[in-house]
Amino acid sequence: MIHSNPHFAAARMVACLCAASMTVGAGCTTPECDDGSKLCNGVCVFNADAADQCGSGGTCVRCPEVAVPNASRACINNACDWACNGLRGDCNHEVSDGCETSLAGDSLNCGGCGVVCHGDCVDGVCTVRVAEAEPAPSGLVLAATALYWTSFDGTRLSVRTSDRNASVRTLASVDAHPGIAAALALDADEVFWTTGGTDQPGVADGAVYRLTLPAGSPTLVAGSQGAPAGIALSPDAIYWTNHASGEVMRAARAEGVAKAIASNQVHPRGIAFGGGRIYWVNEGSGASDGAVVVAGSDGSQPVVVSTDAALPDGTVVPSGVAPGPLSAFVPAASGGVSGPFFPAIFWADRIHNVVWAVQPSGGVPFPVSFPLVPWDPLQLSGIPYELIVVDRAAQSIEELQDVILVRTPGDTSFPPSHLFTRMTIPDPVALAPGVNGVDWEFAWISGTAVRWRLPPVFGPTR
pLDDT digits (tens, 9 = 90+) for 187-234: 989 999 999 999 999 999 999 999 999 888 999 999 999 999 999 999
Looking at residue 280, which CATH number applies to its domain? 2.120.10.30
Contact (CB, 8 A) for 261 and 292: no
User: Looking at 58, 85, 112, which one is the last position of a domain?
Assistant: 85
Average pLDDT over residues 340-366: 83
Distance CA 383, CA 432 (A): 10
Contact (CB, 8 A) for 267 and 280: no
Residues 197, 306 within the same domain: yes
Residues 336, 437 within the same domain: yes
CB under 8 Å to 175, separation ≥6 — which residues?
155, 156, 157, 195
| Predicted local distance difference test score (pLDDT) of residue 154 | 96
Residues 234, 286 within the same domain: yes
First-to-last CA distance in the chain?
8
Residue 384 lies in a domain: yes
CB under 8 Å to 402, separation ≥6 — which residues?
385, 386, 417
392 DSSP assignment: T
How long is the chain? 462
Question: Residue 404: which H helix or E strand, with range?
Answer: none
Residue 100 lies in a domain: no
Contact (CB, 8 A) for 5 and 52: no
User: Looking at 85, 105, 132, which one is the last position of a domain?
Assistant: 85
Residue 26 lies in a domain: yes
pLDDT above 90 (res 341): no
Contact (CB, 8 A) for 134 and 181: no
pLDDT band at 34 (very low <50, low <70, confident <90, very high): low
Beta bridge partners of 214: none
387-391, long-range: CB < 8 A, 24+ apart: 387/327, 387/346, 387/355, 388/422, 388/431, 388/433, 388/442, 389/348, 389/355, 389/419, 390/425, 390/428, 390/430, 390/431, 390/444, 391/428
Return the closest-CA partner of residue 176 out of 143, 212, 135: 135
Residues 63, 148 within the same domain: no
| Predicted local distance difference test score (pLDDT) of residue 458 | 66
pLDDT band at 439 (very low <50, low <70, confident <90, very high): low
CA distances from 255 to 100, 222, 250, 277 (A): 61, 12, 11, 20
| Predicted local distance difference test score (pLDDT) of residue 136 | 97
Residue 374 preceded by cis peptide, ω within 30: yes
Percentage of the chain modeled with pLDDT above 70: 83
Residue 420 lies in a domain: yes
Q: What angle do CA 192, 197, 199 make, to 5 degrees?
A: 130
pLDDT above 90 (res 404): no
Residues 63, 160 within the same domain: no
Which segments of 41-128 does DSSP mark as H helices, in order? none
Residue 67 lies in a domain: yes
CB under 8 Å to 315, separation ≥6 — which residues?
none
Residues 72, 157 within the same domain: no
Residue 144 lies in a domain: yes
Amino acid letter, residue 229: A
User: Looking at 60, 85, 110, which one is the last position of a domain?
Assistant: 85
| Predicted local distance difference test score (pLDDT) of residue 20 | 39
Residues 68, 130 within the same domain: no
Average pLDDT over residues 434-448: 77
180 DSSP assignment: B
| Predicted local distance difference test score (pLDDT) of residue 377 | 94
Contact (CB, 8 A) for 397 and 444: yes
pLDDT above 90 (res 48): no
Residue 189 lies in a domain: yes
Residues 149, 233 within the same domain: yes
**Residue 65: which domain range?**
12-85
Residues 53, 150 within the same domain: no
Residue 7 lies in a domain: no
pLDDT above 90 (res 169): yes
The answer, as to whether pTM is greater than 0.85, is no
Residues 272, 369 within the same domain: yes
Residues 339, 391 within the same domain: yes
Residues 346, 260 within the same domain: yes
Please state the domain count of the chain. 2
